[in-house]
Amino acid sequence: MLEAKRGVLGLMVMAAFAVCAPAALAQTTITQDTPISSTVPSQCNDHTIAFTGTLHSVFTFNTNPNGMTHTNFDFSVHATGVDTTTAINYVVNESIHNESNVHGIAQVQNFGTKMMLISQGSAPNEVDRSTLHVVINSDNTFVVQRNSETISCK
C-alpha cells in the first residue's frame, strides 16, 4: 500500500506542519524540518525524477516597540533525486534567505526559488524551480510548503 502511494506521479507531497510561532516579543527563533518526497516530471527530457530529502526552515522573529515584526526566513534543501527512466541520480544542496517587515506577525509569503539538480552521471544538470509557501497565522501557528515545482534544462 505504501509503495503504491509513493508511486503516484505528478504530485507535490509536502507535509504541512502546524507548529507554534512565538508571540511577537523580542527575538525568537524557531526551526522545522519538513520531509521532501515528490515525483516531478522533467520538461528537459520528459523523464520523471523522484526526490527524497529535507527542507530545513529557520525563522527568526524580531518585534520592535512600534509593533513591526522583522522576520528572517532561512531555508536549506538537501535532497537526492533519481531519474525513474535512466536511474541517474541527482543531488540538491541549496540555501535560500528571505526577509519581511509586517505589522503584527500574521502573514502569507510566497518565495520563488531556483535550485540546481547536480547530475551524478552522464546526464546534464537540470534546474528545479518551486515556490516556498509560508503561512504564519495570528494564532501563532505556521505552515511551510513547497508548491508549483517544475524541472527544466539548465
Partner 1 sequence: MIEGSIRTGFLAALVLCAAGALGQSAVSNSYDANLANAVTANNCSSGEPVALSGTVHVSYSVSTDSSGANNFAIAAATNLSGIGQNTGAAYTAGDSDDYSSSTTDASADLTVELKSALTAQNGGPGLNLVQSLHIVVDTSGNISVQVVSNTTNCGS
Which residue's entry shows cell 535550485? 115
Q: Which is nearer to partner 1, 48 or 137 (CB)?
A: 137
* Binding span for partner 1 by CB under 8 A among 16-24, 48-56, 77-85, 99-107: 99-107
Is residue 68 within 8 Å of 103, Cβ to Cβ? Answer: yes
Instruction: Give the residue, chosen from 107, 123, 137, 140, that forms a contact with partner 1 under the rule CB under 8 A.
Output: 107
- Does 131 bind partner 1 (CB under 8 A)? Our answer is yes
Is residue 50 within 8 Å of 5, Cβ to Cβ? Answer: no
Identify the bridge partners of residue 41 per DSSP, sorted by sequence position. Answer: 48
All three cell numbers of 129: 524551480
Least distance from partner 1 to the Cβ atom of residue 5, Å: 31
Identify the bridge partners of residue 151 per DSSP, sorted by sequence position. Answer: 42, 128
Q: Which is nearer to partner 1, 7 or 112 (CB)?
A: 112
Instruction: Give the residue, chosen from 32, 98, 137, 140, that forms a contact with partner 1 under the rule CB under 8 A.
Output: 98
